[in-house]
């Protein structure tokens, strides 16, 4: 399994995390194409450069926007995501991050989620940071993200709400909701931003994994500090130590409207399920029923089990640890006469043995060009490897 560890000894912001993904191998053109799919109506340009923070080399990302409207509600951002051309996984994951931010802001200011005005985190550059983080992890094939404890200092920060104590109230609330571990710092500046905190709180497990290192990305912070102000993203493969990190969740359901299964499947995938399957079965007295099965990471077991119990009529679930063998995977962009398609490559012993176009990209091109989905697949297969 491909994993990554966010080493945040100097904190984290959205642009630091995104710069580390780019430094680890995320192509800038792939990220730019993904951001363009948001259809923001305003020009967004991404500029990547190399810099030094102290004695360390790092990548620095600049998000250049023409004019950004800073005051957005959660509904505004969710509408931007839902009407974009991004994949459903990216839309739903980014929506989870912004919903967490809204929950934190609502508690801090004593408002409802609907009333919350996003200020700094509603700006275009923050939207780019959140959406870009999800695109980057998906493109690099990172299936599980881990993170170090986060540093917190003291002092104050200027914001659209006025002068606030550090850690910023919204940041601290996000970290509280995630039960994130914090470590003291002597810094008198903001080390962890609300956007950076929300990305990790939503996507990461706060522990240090065992892994075989296969890549490294170093993202630069904007400030010059007495130490090297960078975030390191350590990319690697899990070490098989005999302990299963995967679970299989199953339940038999014979008393539910079959139309509900589609809705439940969508919610399970959005909550982290790696696979969901439905199998027709017969139960006692020859009653027709459906076996609902889920393959998931162990860390998501409790969340998915609760979702199934809440969203279906079942009264109980079966859970068992499982092992699986996996081929390596990678992604590349293929240019066709209809447009670009992301292609997933299956790799064994360093050799590409199979390529499969991404379904969402093919559907988008079929709709845009008013041709059949089969024709898009055929066009992709014509292109050289």
Where are the chain's structural domains?
A: 2-238, 246-322, 328-382
pTM for the full predicted model: 0.65
Instruction: With beta carbons less than 8 A apart as the criterion, state whether 24 and 217 touch.
Output: yes
Helix (H) or strand (E) holding 172: helix 169-177
Q: What is the mean pLDDT of residues 195-214?
A: 93
The pLDDT of residue 67 is: 61
Homologous superfamily in CATH for domain 246-322: Transcriptional regulatory protein pf0864 domain like (3.30.70.1380)
The answer to whether residue 66 scores a pLDDT higher than 90 is: no
Over its C-alpha atoms, the chain yields an Rg (Å, rounded) of 22
Q: Which of 138-142, 151-155, 287-291 has the lowest mean pLDDT?
A: 151-155
- The DSSP code for 362 is H
Homologous superfamily in CATH for domain 328-382: mk0293 like domain (3.10.20.300)
Q: What is the mean pLDDT of residues 21-27?
A: 96
The answer to whether residue 91 scores a pLDDT higher than 90 is: yes
Most confident of 188-202, 233-247, 340-354: 188-202
What residues pair up with 59 in beta bridges, in sequence order?
Answer: 50, 219
The pLDDT of residue 60 is: 96
- The DSSP code for 285 is G
3-state secondary structure 180-204: CCEEECCCCCCCECHHHHHHHHHHE
Residue pLDDT, tens place only, 26-44: 999 999 999 999 988 888 8
CA atoms 159, 165, 167, 169: torsion sign: negative
- Alpha carbon separation from 303 to 173, 177, 178 (Å, rounded): 21, 15, 14
Averaged confidence pLDDT in the chain:
90
The pLDDT of residue 110 is: 84
CA distance 186 to 16: 20
CA distance 196 to 139: 19
Instruction: With beta carbons less than 8 A apart as the criterion, state whether 3 and 100 touch.
Output: no
CA distance 223 to 154: 16
- The DSSP code for 239 is -
């Amino acid at each position: 399994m491909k994993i990554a560890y966010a080493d945040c000894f100097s904190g984290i912001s959205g642009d630091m995390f995104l710069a580390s993904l780019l430094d680890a191998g995320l192509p800038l053109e792939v990220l730019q194409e993904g951001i363009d799919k948001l259809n923001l109506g305003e020009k967004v340009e991404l500029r990547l450069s190399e810099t030094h923070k102290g004695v360390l080399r790092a990548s620095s990302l600049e998000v250049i926007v023409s004019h950004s409207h800073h005051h957005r509600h959660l509904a505004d951002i969710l509408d931007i995501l839902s009407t974009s051309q991004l994949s459903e996984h990216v839309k739903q994951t980014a929506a989870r991050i912004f919903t967490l931010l809204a929950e934190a802001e609502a508690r801090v200011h004593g408002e409802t989620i609907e009333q919350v005005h996003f200020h700094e985190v509603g700006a275009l550059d923050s939207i780019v940071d959140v959406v870009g983080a999800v695109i980057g992890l998906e493109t690099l094939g990172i299936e599980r993200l881990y993170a170090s404890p986060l540093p917190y200092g003291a002092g104050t920060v200027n914001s659209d709400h006025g002068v606030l104590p550090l850690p910023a109230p919204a940041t601290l609330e996000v970290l509280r909701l995630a039960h994130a571990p914090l470590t003291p710092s002597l810094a008198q500046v903001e080390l962890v931003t609300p956007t950076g905190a929300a990305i990790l709180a939503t996507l990461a497990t706060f522990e240090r994994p065992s892994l075989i290192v296969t890549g490294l990305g170093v993202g630069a912070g904007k400030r010059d500090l007495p130490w090297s102000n960078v975030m390191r993203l350590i990319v690697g493969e899990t070490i098989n130590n005999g302990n299963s990190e995967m679970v299989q969740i199953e339940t038999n359901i014979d008393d539910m409207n079959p139309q509900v299964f589609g809705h439940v499947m969508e919610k399970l995938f959005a909550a982290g399920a790696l696979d969901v399957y439905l199998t027709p079965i017969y139960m006692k007295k020859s009653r027709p029923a459906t076996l609902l099965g889920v393959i998931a990471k162990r860390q998501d077991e409790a969340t998915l089990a609760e979702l199934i119990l809440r969203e279906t009529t079942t009264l109980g679930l079966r859970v068992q640890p499982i092992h699986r063998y996996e081929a390596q995977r990678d992604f590349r962009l293929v240019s066709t006469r209809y447009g670009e398609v992301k292609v997933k490559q299956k790799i064994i012993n360093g050799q590409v043995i199979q390529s499969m176009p991404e379904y969402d990209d093919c559907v988008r091109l079929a709709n845009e060009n008013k041709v059949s989905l089969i024709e898009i697949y055929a066009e992709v297969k014509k292109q050289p490897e």
